[in-house]
Amino acid sequence: MEANQQVKLRIVNLSLSFGGVSALVDVSLGIREKEILAIIGPNGAGKTALLNCINGFYKPQKGEIYYKTNKRCQATVIRYCNTSKIEAQFMR
């Protein structure tokens, strides 16, 4: 994997809670093109909560999500990308 490949999906300090229960606390990660990663952890660790924030089903209380160079989400404000049909589908 080349070190200079551009990050395609970047998550910065993402936090999500349900009532008083924290599902995600300051989660950050970056995924480069052609990179394969796994999200692992025990039940209740926040794996599905993270994926639901990325796909827009949940709105995090804190943090930012970037897809390619477009800001996808900042806390509860979602901005849509219109660069292509596939990206627009991802952004919903």
Give the CATH superfamily of 7-91: P-loop containing nucleotide triphosphate hydrolases (3.40.50.300)
Q: Residues 69-85: what's their mean pLDDT?
A: 46
pLDDT score of 29: 92
Higher per-residue pLDDT: 83 or 22: 22
8 A C-beta contact, residue 74 and residue 18: no
Residue 46 has pLDDT above 80, yes or no: yes
SS3 87: helix
Residue 43 has pLDDT above 80, yes or no: yes
Task: Provide Rg for the chain, Cα atoms.
Answer: 13
Q: Residues 14-21: what's their mean pLDDT?
A: 92
Give CA–CA dist 2/65, Å, rounded: 23
